[in-house]
Structure 1
Amino acid sequence: MKVLNIEEVAPTKRKMTLQIEPGDLESEREEAYEELGKEAALPGFRKGKVPRKLLELRFDKTIRREAFADAVGKAVKDAAKERDLHIIGRPDFDESEIEAKVDQVAENAVEVNVSLDVVPPFEVPPYKDQKFNLPPLEFTEEDIEASLRRAQEEEAYYVAVDDRPTREGDFLLIEVKTTRGDKEIEALTHQRLMVGDLCGGERLEVFDKGLLGRVKGEQFEFDYDLPSDHPLFEEGETNTLHVTGRIQQINDRVLPNLDDEFAKDLGYETLDQYRAFTRNQLEYQRSAVLAGAKRRLVEGHLLSKTEVTVPAALVQTHYLWLKYSREIEARESGESEASLPTQEKRRRELETMYEAEQDAKRTLVFAKIAELEGLSLSDDEYIDSMARIARSQGEKDIDKFLADAERKGLENLYKESFLMSKVSRFLVENNEFVKGSGAEADDGAKESSSDANEEKD
């Protein structure tokens, strides 16, 4: 078997023409019969005891087809290694052509055309010993006090009132129905809806104002217009919504005093002790944010300075992986996209496709760095990482979790993801990060990228 020609159809596409001789399939054919002989069970014969001649009578066409496909795959793999081609996914060939040539190759040499998705050659910019400016991420006493106030808000309790109308800051329980024309909007229709912090939350101000000055049990009815940036806004449709409903309950929200008793309710001896805990938590969060900022700075520099055409097949793989991951997250949180308007669904799809393109490019760049630095993922590292994911999803049986990943074809994607994380840690450890200020941090990142370009040139 030999390669007759490799044609560049596009930067990420190759057409390979192979010549296959009658004798080229013998080893693959013998291997296939050997495996079949171990497993085959026909009437009158025990498993693994079916005579070869009988197997040939029953399965020869199938075996020759499998041997042909295996031979083509092996030839493509060998040719890719010899010519330093980085192939993405499986070779693509015309099934009808293969069917016809399976019979022909028994007596004559045949030619087969195979389409390949490949990663075009590219160079990564300098990725070690670079300098990046970090944005300021210090916390102050004001941040600590703000965190205490949030804890105070979380411990608030409610007192029902019925001797006055609703006012700003109230927490209401309402029954509400919202329509657009004659169509009911399910996302804004509820038998019991909690409206918190009246006129002080993130809801539309016009909606909250329609609930002001109402007494318990009062029926209400009003219209309001959706702004163009609202998720439910629909171009070319009426965006005036009609609201009807009833005030079911009015509640005052009462905040506990920030004192030692408050701290004891949370499991601390004194407020000072709880304040110290809060300071430690903020420091931990700051460290996590800094770590994320470092990763983004290095990755952003590498992606912006690497010129490579990403194969569409790789982008599609990452797109499907993102969709799968988000479906898992949605199921765990009880969310659903079913009620979202078409425009919002389309926006999310476009965002996912863009993110998939960036993830695919990052994979190519990081894979090359892993190769250059000799970084790899051991079996123990893979199992440990999968165990952490299994525990986070409430799965105690790690063997079952591993088997499910393999059955769903996700094993390689998980391994790739873990290796990319390992490369990311390597990059953070092997670059320098200095504290900057706001705009200077951005400029610093640009200067770092510029310096890297100069070094590359």
Structure 2
Amino acid sequence: MPEDTIQTNVTIEDAGPSRKKLHIEIPAEAVSEKLSDSLDMIAVEAAIPGFRKGRAPRRLVEKRFGSAVRSEAKSQLVAAAFQQAVEQHELKVIGEPISDELADIEVEEGKPLIFDIEVEVMPEFELPPLEGLKIRKPIPEVTDEMVNGEIEKILINEGELEERDEPEPGDYLTGHGIMMAGDKEIHNIEGAVIQVPTKDREGKGMILGVLVEDFEKQLGLPKPGQTVTIRTKGPENHEIEDVRGADLVITFKVDRVDRIIPAALGDVVARFGLGSEEQLREMVRSRLNERALVEQKTVMRQQVAKHLLDTVELELPERLSAQQSARLLHRRRMELMYRGVDPQKIEEHIAELRASSSEAAARELKLFFILSKAADQLEIKVEEAEINGRIAQIAAERGERPEKLRQELIESRQVQQIYQQIREHKTLDAILAKAEIEEMSPEEFNKAMQEQAGS
């Protein structure tokens, strides 16, 4: 049997919108041959006391290494059969395959290996024409008021924590948070941080990544040493399956209470190595101009995305899988990082997305599918230099070193999200390059978009 092929019997059936179920059977002969080949390879290298290397009786080698051989042979057979099925049936697989039964299946000599795998695939649909879209382009504007607001944020970010005996709205509580869904522990985090809701939050707050509507009421104003219990319903679009729709009980023991005391303007000027407040303002204005250009491009891309969502007909699952939700949350987090949103605000946005309606989450999934197909049609490529450049851009916006951010992205397995973001942006930009662009002031743009939303 050639190394790169394996004899299989495969049947494929629909498992819901954009999902396929593969029933794969590897004949007994192929299983036995794989087990024999694997055992032969082990026997050559096996070192068993009392025998020279490679000279131990086969039955002893099998007795000592049989379990490991069967496990490795199973992994290789499954991987080869799955990849072969994907290629032969031209499946456009997205994400990792899932099988609830595979872990419990054992391979045995003389018996076929039979298993089922479910995969998420690109759905079949037609793209609309991608040329000649009418797009509004707002002219970037950075006002003194925006500069003042950004400086206030810098003063807070550069400020110091002042420990308090009692919390007030806006203060931060650090402590030990535990999230339970029934009898199952979901999170157990030392050093978790929550913020006492401010008045503008209307009682809402976030704890351990979950948005709680009556958070202010349940939290109260606990002092260090006290424990509070928060009860809420798990969001339907959470990336952890056990959280979805579950009755969550979150305990939080407060270790300390802190208030951020903004830094003095003169101290920040000196800390940044600047000569005057005016130089700080110029630096901030330059940063805001760059961010305004990013926002300009973002709102233009959003118009393209809305057009595609409104014109493409595509059947979607009623409920996103945990894998789909996780991918969409990573996608949104990366987009907000690219736009220069504060890290705390990003986590608030993510919590809100988890709590959003299934319809809103399905639109995000639909856009992912549409842009993937459009990227293929437009032959969009992403180079390594573009990934490095995007990481450097995000790092500069966050005030971090690029190599530090890159390492964080690698550790959290989010570099693929950078690739996907660039690919989607280049796809949208390729469509914009063929669009009819109308420039207008921010006021005119906002008025036009409001009228469009109301029509």
Q: TM-score, normalised by structure 2?
A: 0.56
2:119 equivalent among 116, 124, 147: 116
Report 1:373-412 matches (<5 A).
373-386=378-391, 394-395=400-401, 397=403, 401=406, 405-406=409-410, 408-412=412-416
Say whether residues 1:6 and 2:12 are aligned partners.
yes
Unaligned runs of 5+ in 2: 1-6, 156-161, 174-196, 206-211, 222-264, 266-274
Give the superposition deviation at 1:284.
5.2
Q: 1:397 to 1:266 in 2, by over 3 A?
A: closer
Q: 1:109 to 1:10 in 2, by over 3 A?
A: same
Report 1:55-454 matches (<5 A).
56-88=62-94, 89-95=96-102, 98-99=105-106, 102-103=107-108, 106-109=109-112, 111-134=114-137, 136-137=138-139, 139=141, 143=143, 146=145, 187=171, 229-231=202-204, 265-266=276-277, 286-306=292-312, 307-309=314-316, 312-318=321-327, 321=330, 349-351=354-356, 357-386=362-391, 394-395=400-401, 397=403, 401=406, 405-406=409-410, 408-435=412-439, 437=444, 438-441=446-449
- What is the rounded CA distance, in whole Å, between the counterparts of 2:342 and 2:215 in structure 1? 33
- What is the rounded CA distance, in whole Å, between the counterparts of 2:329 and 2:300 in structure 1? 28
- What is the rounded CA distance, in whole Å, between the counterparts of 1:130 and 1:90 in structure 2? 37
Deviations 1:325-369 (A, max 9, x none): 79999xx9796999x9xxx99756304987764443332222111
- What is the rounded CA distance, in whole Å, between the counterparts of 1:396 and 1:364 in structure 2? 30
Letter in 2 for 1:127: L
- What is the rounded CA distance, in whole Å, between the counterparts of 1:235 and 1:129 in structure 2? 47
Letter in 1 for 2:64: R
Is the contact made by 1:315 and 1:357 (CA closer than 8 Å) also made in structure 2? Answer: no
Letter in 1 for 2:202: D
Q: 1:52 to 1:283 in 2, by over 3 A?
A: farther
Partner of 2:129: helix, strand, or coil? coil
- What is the rounded CA distance, in whole Å, between the counterparts of 1:39 and 1:411 in structure 2? 38
- What is the rounded CA distance, in whole Å, between the counterparts of 2:368 and 2:333 in structure 1? 18
Letter in 1 for 2:110: E
Letter in 2 for 1:428: L
Unaligned runs of 5+ in 1: 157-172, 180-184, 190-201, 205-226, 243-254, 256-263, 269-273, 448-457
Q: 1:440 to 1:413 in 2, by over 3 A?
A: closer
Aligned CA-pair RMSD: 5.7
Partner of 2:355: helix, strand, or coil? helix
Letter in 1 for 2:116: N
Partner of 1:317: helix, strand, or coil? helix
Give the superposition deviation at 1:409.
3.8
Is the contact made by 2:371 and 2:424 (CA closer than 8 Å) also made in structure 1? Answer: yes
Partner of 2:105: helix, strand, or coil? helix
Q: 1:386 to 1:37 in 2, by over 3 A?
A: farther
Letter in 1 for 2:65: F
Letter in 2 for 1:433: I
Give the superposition deviation at 1:320.
5.7
Give the superposition deviation at 1:382.
3.5
- What is the rounded CA distance, in whole Å, between the counterparts of 2:335 and 2:133 in structure 1? 34
Give the superposition deviation at 1:74.
2.5
Q: 1:148 to 1:426 in 2, by over 3 A?
A: closer
Letter in 2 for 1:11: P
- What is the rounded CA distance, in whole Å, between the counterparts of 1:111 and 1:335 in structure 2? 48
Is the contact made by 1:93 and 1:115 (CA closer than 8 Å) also made in structure 2? Answer: no
Letter in 2 for 1:24: A
- What is the rounded CA distance, in whole Å, between the counterparts of 1:357 and 1:345 in structure 2? 15
Give the superposition deviation at 1:43.
6.8
Is the contact made by 1:137 and 1:290 (CA closer than 8 Å) also made in structure 2? Answer: yes
Larger mean Cα displacement after TM superposition, 18-27 or 279-288: 279-288
Q: 1:61 to 1:407 in 2, by over 3 A?
A: farther
- What is the rounded CA distance, in whole Å, between the counterparts of 1:393 and 1:186 in structure 2? 24
Give the superposition deviation at 1:4.
4.5
- What is the rounded CA distance, in whole Å, between the counterparts of 1:32 and 1:417 in structure 2? 42
- What is the rounded CA distance, in whole Å, between the counterparts of 1:42 and 1:327 in structure 2? 58
Q: 1:32 to 1:324 in 2, by over 3 A?
A: farther
Structure 2 residue aligned with 1:210: none
Identical-residue share of aligned pairs (%): 17
Structure 1 residue aligned with 2:252: none
Give the superposition deviation at 1:435.
3.2
Is the contact made by 1:3 and 1:16 (CA closer than 8 Å) also made in structure 2? Answer: no
Give the superposition deviation at 1:417.
3.0
Q: 1:139 to 1:320 in 2, by over 3 A?
A: closer
Larger mean Cα displacement after TM superposition, 282-291 or 427-436: 282-291
Q: TM-score, normalised by structure 1?
A: 0.56
